[in-house]
Structure 1
């Protein structure tokens, strides 16, 4: 957000123009459909609960501007409304065109592709038999698992786009059944959909271990007073290191003397590089602009750049924090920082083989569940979705696991003719978002997979670039992301 009136006017015009972008128009179309199904009164009540929750979180997180922020996002104040996931998602979508200064980029980037795809193909989505029951489950049910249900809906749309007649199958309280029944001419199949959780339990544990060491380091950096950015690579599991490892490494770097280009040390457990944050550039940016609280732009100012798959942690002392937008009881997550007194930031990763192995979660368990729900006397197709959030090295390992699991799996007497794995990478950028997607296909019979699904990408919006590669390989070699 700009301070100067002229720059403010330009920003407002830009936000208004964003509302005409194809993905926004499509997302709004799906939101309107969902809201019509949910009911206005029901939505007002559930939206109010979302707003109340985040107002409470802001009171906890936002300090007096003279103090250093103790932690940007603690484990007990995570930016998500776990009590009612779909209401949280709907609030973010509604805010795109009603409250443009409201956002939580790390969450919204995950859901924009789903809502846009549903809205883009809403006419055929409404033709799917059983869709209203599925919307009831999504919007009114008690499962509170919208990620899996949204995945089922976009899979159904994909089949409909490929010329199949699609039907959602009702749930059976006595036995598990497939999700969809598809038919085209004389061909008929069941379809089962499964989606992995966003991150593995190991990833959550690893982050907690990082934070234990980071909390100790912050106290030392505050005593040192000089604003710094540190880049940390763990060679062993973080949990196997001393809780003082960052403190000891940082003090060793201080003894060597930090230079503007950075000073690094390395041992058997860790590589750490420390450099001063150029506060003149930071202040210069804030002189012209305000920056969204806890955003990629904020990180980029302190780190000198932003890696969408990187792990970042930051603390700083804001000179002022402003809520942008009308005080209408519907705005939250609309905070912007107008400057900082000082800042400390870190980027970290663990490259230990065991860490990569545990973060590269396989699909075998989901595949087993999907096969168990397939009937014994009818051909079935399985679709598994997962997010690729840990970077290329982890995804190379995961892809190898998936290949081995699907090829070697004992399907017993089940007639599973094909398995599709949809790898999805929502990516937040400094001022935008992207979505990369890779489909891995495994045919188990002589069936021509192209004949089965000619279009097997879920989010191939207009102007999508499609290449015969994985998006993690393109990331690794430095190419643009596959969409």
Structure 2
């Protein structure tokens, strides 16, 4: 039985952030206390069953489990922010890093948000009718706020009345624009398939890696989905037991593998002084001995746990680790990179279909950049090719704003957020209608450089 420590004995400070609290309390006005408690309890029940503590894993590795609630996405997001503010011992770092910055921006300009015509119905629909569409609706809210911050009057257009319509219209003096927002799904289906394949391959070598406290840094040069599940096991079963020193153990046209060892003594010393949460950036950094992208890192360990506070919802902490392993994977295969580099052609042409062709129109497209600079370079080329195929003779599409986002978390900071904005014009109306273009990051806190955020080294 896993022991439990009361919150009164746990050294964790609640975060005080007025802007995030402003947004949280505003969001809560669109859901009754009774409904919120039910949805919160449902989420906590799910979390208490999906995360396992059976040796040596804290989650079912073979299935590539994602700690996210899809059916009630907005409930999940509100839960993340609730934990960030009021129950930090339950906070989920990696998912929260995507959501907390959005609340921060909305809360910073809460007076402007609440003045947007039609915003109340949009929010009520998200909480009641469109619970699984939070990413798309929050993107619309952020875009409407962007235009409001630039001094435009924004009117959200109610859906389903009078045929196809844009998301909202903006006016300033005698000028008027139609605006449509399109939010791309967080991750390509190919990435999910690749992740599941990677986890299946690692599940066949995890016991061996655990026994020898091994960390592998793997670069695949072919698509993972073309390899058998036993590929890594067949390759490494006679090598791992005989390796005594860190270094490159395999390098060929299919795969490169570097090996190092987990510093168990260092981890034990750390755990004597600090409490480390399961599935946290701190745990990843202790095992990997560096900061890594959690989405491509798989780890496991043998150790001792304890719960903090009541329940079993993402409040599991580690008191000791006896053995551990980690695997960091990357695939530089051209076919894999191309599959992850999703174009926005469908979003653009779908948006054009929403407009009245007689009025000037603008499209905002939101994308997340979790797959690395090589993928984004390919995606940029696809977008350029798509732009050249747009015929504006039968519409008045004047501008497209491309918003790129990336979030991550570190042991010393619960969230970081990067944003890059690029624009394209058809030259029908070549004067950029807004000066501020960042949806989430405050412009006065951003250092503008001639580079995209995915080309820069992460902190």
User: TM-score, normalised to structure 2's length?
Assistant: 0.93
Cα pair 1:71 1:314 within 8 Å, conserved: no
Please name the residue that 1:233 is paired with: 219
Q: 1:129 to 1:173 in 2, by over 3 A?
A: closer
1:88 partnered with 2:76: yes
Q: 2: CA distance between counterparts of 1:69 and 1:254? A: 20
CA deviation after TM superposition for structure 1 residue 73, in Å: 5.3
**Is 1:148 equivalent to 2:136 in the alignment?**
yes
Higher RCO (C-alpha 8 Å, min separation 6): 2
Q: Which residue of 1 aligns with 2:159?
A: 171
Q: Which moved more, 1:391-400 or 1:338-347?
A: 391-400
1:56 and 1:382 map into 2 onto residues whose CA distance is 41
Q: Tell me which residue corresponds to 1:25.
A: 18
- Gap regions ≥5 residues in structure 2: 1-8
SS of 1:101's equivalent in the other structure is helix
Question: What is the CA–CA distance in structure 2 between the aligned matches of 1:417 and 1:214, rounded to whole Å?
Answer: 49
Equivalent of 1:322, from 286, 306, 310?
Answer: 306
Contact 2:305–2:316 (8 Å) recurs in 1? yes
Residue 264 of structure 1 is matched in structure 2 by 249
Q: 1:98 aligns with which of 86, 89, 97?
A: 86
Distance in structure 1 (CA, Å) of the matches to 2:179 and 2:63: 37
Q: 2:266 — aligned with what?
A: 281
Q: Which residue of 2 aligns with 1:62?
A: 53
SS at match of 2:155: strand
Partner in structure 1 of residue 42 of structure 2 = 49
- CA contact under 8 A between 2:221 and 2:332: conserved in structure 1? yes
**1:410 lines up with 2:384 in the alignment:** no
Partner residue, 1:349: 330
* SS of residue matched to 1:375: coil
Unaligned runs of 5+ in 1: 1-7
Q: Does 1:200 align with 2:191?
A: no
Aligned length: 454
Is 1:419 the counterpart of 2:400? The answer is yes
Root-mean-square deviation (Å): 2.5
| Per-residue deviation, 1:449 | 4.3
Alignment correspondent of 1:438:
420
Match of 1:5 in 2: none
Q: Secondary structure at the match of 1:406?
A: helix
For 1:40, the equivalent position in structure 2 comes to 33
> Which runs of structure 2 are paired with 1:346-425 in the superposition (5 Å)?
346-411=327-392, 413-425=394-406
1:118–1:154 CA contact under 8 A, matched in 2: yes
Determine the C-alpha separation between the residues in 2 that align with 1:76 and 1:471: 30
Distance 1:97 1:269, change over 3 A: same
Whole-angstrom CA distance in 2 between matches of 1:196 and 1:441: 17
| Partner in structure 2 of residue 455 of structure 1 | 436
Deviation at 1:411, TM superposition (A): 4.1
SS, match of residue 286 in structure 2: helix
1:132 Cα offset (Å): 0.8
- Distance 1:228-1:464 versus aligned 2 partners, 3 A rule: same
Equivalent pair of 1:110/1:426 in contact (CA under 8 Å): yes
